[in-house]
Amino acid sequence: MKRYGFYSWETADIKDANGLTLRDYYDILSGLWCADTCAPRMRDEWNY
């Protein structure tokens, strides 16, 4: 089972009107966040 980094991820099974759970949104957003999309002043500290 994949582990997530947000509180109460184990029970985040409720789906929204689009059929997505909080874990789905976490996966989507995690795929978008990267050093290139990080604020330039913080790129040296990027660690995800």
Q: Is the dihedral angle over the CA atoms 15, 17, 19, 22 positive or is it negative? A: negative
CA distance 9 to 21: 10
Question: 23: which residues sit within 8 A by CB, 6+ positions away?
Answer: 2, 4, 9, 12
pLDDT tens-place values along the chain, 48 residues long: 788 888 888 899 999 999 999 999 999 988 888 888 888 898 888 876
pTM score: 0.66
Rg over alpha carbons for the chain, rounded to the nearest Å, is 13
